[in-house]
Structure 1
C-alpha cells in the first residue's frame, strides 16, 4: 500500500471586498507575480507535498488566464459560499480520487510569506499527532469592548495563541468534522475549530509572525518587504 500523500488545499473562492479593487485579492500582483502563484510556489516547493487542489468560484475567470503550471499536479475544484464549503469541496474531490488516507494541508491563498522552516516543522510534528496548526503566542495586551466603542475589560493573554495557516489534518477526519459542525450549525472560522468541535485537540506548532494574511491594500507592501527579506521574490 502506498504512503499517504499530503495535498496543499487552497480555499480561494472569495472576492476580497476589503481590498476595494477590481481583482480578487489572491490575483493581485505581488513583486511581479499574482499572490496565489507565490503562495502555491511556497507550498509546492516542500518535498513532502504531493500536489495542490485549489477551490475557486465557478465564475472565476482569472485562474485560467493566470496559466499557473508546476511539475507537481495542481487541480481546480468548485468552491462554495463559505471557506468551510470550499474546503469540503476539495476533501470530497480527494476522497473520490482515492485519497482517503491522505492529508490536507489547508492554507489561505493570501498567505504567500509562509516560511519553509515553519512548513517543515508543521508537517514533522502534526502528522505524527494526527493534526495541528501553525500559531504563535499572543504578545500584545488584549481589550474587550463594551459594544459601544469603549473598553469593557482587559483580557488575560496567558495561554492565548494567534491561529495561522497552514493547518494539517487527515482528509477523512477533517471531512467528517466539517460535516458534523455544519449539521450542528456551528460557526467554523478555521479547520482546527471543526476538529475541536468533535473532540479533537490539534497540536499548536510555533509559526512566524511574518506569515501574514493579505486582507488590506497596505498588506501588499508589507508582504513584498517580507519576501525581499526572505530572498523569495524571484520569478
Structure 2
C-alpha cells in the first residue's frame, strides 16, 4: 500500500523561522516521528512526502539523516488539497494511506488496524470533550456534542474513490481540510474507528509544549 505524507506546509501559526515539520521536539524533527512508524510497517511500500520547494534540501537532509528509505519526494501544492492531489498522481496501490507530518504520535497498531478494515474509507476519530456552538457575534445554534467527532489522521481510502472525490471537489471549487469530507460529499460511506487521545496535531506554540511533555511522559 502507498502512503501520502503531507509535509509541505509552512506552519504560519507556529510563528517560527522554519516550517514546523523541521522543528525538533525531544531531539528529533517533528516530521520524523510518524515517518519512522510508517517506514517499519511491512504493508506500506512507498511513502510520498509532499514538500515545499523552498526547503527541498532540508527534506532530503532529514530523510537521509534518519535513513528513511521508502520515501519519494513529491512537490506540494498551494493548499493541502492540491498537495494530496499531486501525490495521488503517483499512487499505484488500490488503497492509499493519508497522514500528515504535524501528527507525530501515531502507532503501528493504529495504522495496522486501519489497514485491516475492509471499507472504502476509514477515518479515526475521538469524542469532542467540550461544548460546541454555532454563531458569529451571537450564538445561533447549539450542537449535540455526543454526535460530534474530532477527526484524526492517518486515514485510508480506496484510491479510485479518493481520486473521484478530489475531481468532484475541483469541479465545484470546494476546499476541505481533510479527505474524509471529500469522500462523504461523493456519496460514499466513511467508516469511523476509535482514534488515539494523544494523536494531536501540532499547529501552535502551545501544541509544541504539549507534544514535548507527552514525549517526556509528563501528564497533561
Q: TM-score, normalised by structure 1?
A: 0.85
Deviation at residue 218 of structure 1 after TM alignment:
1.8
Unaligned runs of 5+ residues in structure 1 are 1-5, 231-235
1:139 aligns with 2:136: no
Q: Deviations over 1:4-53 (max 9, x none)?
A: xx222112211011110101011100111111111211222223222311
CA distance in 2, matches of 1:197, 1:228: 40
Aligned to 2:23: 28
In the alignment, which of 136, 142, 145 is matched to residue 157 of structure 1?
145
In structure 1, what is the equivalent of residue 72 of structure 2? Answer: 75
Matched, 1:53 2:48: yes
Residues 90-109 of structure 1 correspond to what in structure 2 (within 5 A)?
Answer: 90-94=87-91, 99=92, 101-109=93-101
Match of 2:114 among 106, 111, 122: 122
Superposition deviation, residue 63 in structure 1? 0.9
Give the CA deviation at 1:191. 0.7
Q: 1:228 to 1:124 in 2, by over 3 A?
A: farther
The whole-number CA distance in structure 2 between the counterparts of 1:27 and 1:142 is 33
Deviates more, 1:85-94 or 1:109-118: 109-118
State the distance in 2 between where 1:71 and 1:20 align.
Answer: 28
How many residues are matched? 216
Q: Normalising by structure 2, what TM-score? A: 0.90
Structure 1 position 138, deviation (Å): 1.8
Is 1:64 aligned with 2:81?
no
Structure 1 contact 52–74 (Cα < 8 Å) conserved:
yes
1:121 Cα deviation from its structure 2 partner: 1.9
Rounded Cα–Cα distance in structure 2 between residues aligned with 1:38 and 1:67: 12
Residue number in structure 2 paired with 1:84: 81
- How far 1:165 moved relative to its partner? 0.4
CA RMSD after TM alignment:
1.8
Q: Which secondary structure state, in structure 1, belongs to the residue aligned with residue 154 of structure 2?
A: strand
- State how far apart, in whole Å, the 1-side matches of 2:217 and 2:43 are: 25
